[in-house]
Chain A
């Protein structure tokens, strides 16, 4: 079985400050991890993924995520938040043998001007 948890429903951060959106996972075997973003009235957009290799993954729009195997986490980060980053963020996971992606419940990020 595989699962993913996003412990915060809502994250607020001031523009220009660093942001972190948390994600922890549980899989049998090696995890394949993804972050997607959903803007209002839009479909999800791919941000970045971790398959193997360097634990720090860089993605679109200045976002990055750090894979931490011992803590089973894959937190999304950005050094300096923009108001336009305000959106709903989803973490997703699958194990190599899984037949589907499992998405977290989503974290609403609000960047305050």
Chain B
């Protein structure tokens, strides 16, 4: 158990809908990262927050947004969902904001868009 929690574990929704994925980092970790894992794209970095501030942005679509709250949990919002958004979404956390710190991954949320 990494200490990173993600809810829900599974999510099935229809095209055009909006969903929110939630992540609680390990105790003491200030950074939260979001990744998307799919068979065709592999593991893609979406966005990183450090202590409430956006720190880095990757291949995140404009339909997606995220935030980190004062208690350091984070939410990833996916809107106007398309079939291609079906994937595993991972949250990871690290103690610092730099990339040299190892990241601890949650169990993931499997999103299925029908």
Contacts and interface: CB of A to CB of B under 8 A. Distances in A.
Give the size range of B's interface with the partner.
Answer: 20 to 34
B100 A45 contact: no
Contacts of A108: none
B84 interface: no
Nearest to B41: A105
A28 to B, nearest CB: 15
Interface string A77-113: 0000000000000100010001111111110000000
Contact of A44 (B48, B90, B100): B90
Interface of B: 2, 4, 42-43, 45, 48, 55-58, 90, 92, 99-100, 102-108
Given A43-B106, A100-B58, A101-B103, 14 more contacts: A36-B105, A41-B107, A43-B2, A43-B105, A44-B90, A44-B105, A45-B105, A46-B102, A51-B100, A101-B45, A101-B99, A102-B45, A103-B43, A104-B42
